[in-house]
Structure 1
Amino acid sequence: MTMEKDGGKETYEIPARSSADARKISRRRHGEDVIIHSVQKK
């Protein structure tokens, strides 16, 4: 998952069943103000 927070892009690995679940998990962890650019399946 590639996302942007505080002006910098970061890449995280999140164990999830689907891309929608990965987005939900990342928003819970990092807040609603993050911009998610892409979600890739590994």
Structure 2
Amino acid sequence: MRCGTKCFMVTVEKDGGKKSYEVPARSSIDARKISRRRYGEDLVIHSVHKK
């Protein structure tokens, strides 16, 4: 974990359904970047909000 890390809830569309999961990141932009690296560039992100 990095300094200043918070938890964000990310809602994505994957495999024909919506899924939500937690991502530890410094900002919502960073949470989007981490999600795309983890699950692929073609991921559709619907929302990112602080937990």
Normalising by the smaller structure, the TM-score range is over 0.9
* Percent of paired sites with the same residue: 76
Paired residue for 2:24, among 1, 15, 24?
A: 15
Q: Distance in 2 between matches of 1:13 and 1:5?
A: 15
* SS, match of residue 32 in structure 1: coil
Please state which structure has a larger fraction of its residues in helix: 1
**What is the alpha-carbon root mean square deviation over aligned residues?**
0.6
Q: Distance in 1 between matches of 2:36 and 2:21?
A: 12
CA–CA separation in structure 1 for the residues paired with 2:36 and 2:25: 13
Runs of 4+ that moved beyond 3 A: none
1:23, distance to aligned residue in structure 2 (A): 0.2
Runs (5+) with no aligned partner, structure 2: 1-9
**Higher relative contact order (CA closer than 8 Å, sequence separation 6+):** 1
Q: TM-score, normalised by structure 2?
A: 0.78
